[in-house]
């Protein structure tokens, strides 16, 4: 088999593998995001890692996250924080600049459960 044909076949085999490894967290880019929830004022966040949006309830706390599932258009993230707080979020990619996030868990010894909408506004600047 000549080298050109061999390279073509290798690239053809690798293509589906590359597509299967797409992540919701690489499709939704870091930057300035506006997070809104019914009954609350929108919050603007400069996000360096979009996985941080999964722990919106504990956004000011250093928590450890485990990605349970990531299909590229949807993901489930479980996280634990100091003091016994924790949460689990289901993220759905609406567009590369928009996410719907259902989150629930324990915050300050009380349960929480709500849905938020997050949309990317652009790059981070002083806001």
* Cβ contact 47:60 at 8 Å: no
pTM above 0.85, yes or no: no
DSSP state of 63: -
pLDDT at 54: 96
pLDDT at 2: 55
Within the chain, which residues score under 50 in pLDDT?
1, 3-20
Strand order across the 31-36 sheet:
43-47, 31-36, 110-122, 98-107, 86-95, 74-80, 64-70
pLDDT at 39: 87
pLDDT at 14: 38
Task: Report domain extents, the chain.
Answer: 22-122
């Amino acid at each position: 088999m000549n080298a050109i044909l061999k390279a073509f076949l290798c690239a053809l085999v690798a293509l589906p593998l590359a597509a299967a490894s797409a992540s919701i967290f690489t499709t939704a880019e870091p930057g300035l995001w506006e997070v809104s929830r019914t009954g609350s004022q929108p919050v603007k966040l400069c996000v360096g890692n979009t996985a941080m949006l999964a722990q919106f309830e504990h956004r000011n706390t250093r928590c450890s996250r485990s990605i349970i599932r990531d299909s590229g258009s949807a993901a489930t993230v479980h996280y634990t924080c100091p003091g016994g707080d924790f949460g689990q979020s289901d993220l759905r990619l609406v567009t590369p600049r928009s996410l719907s996030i259902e989150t629930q868990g324990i915050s300050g010894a009380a349960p929480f459960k709500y849905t938020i909408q997050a949309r990317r506004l652009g790059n981070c600047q002083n806001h």
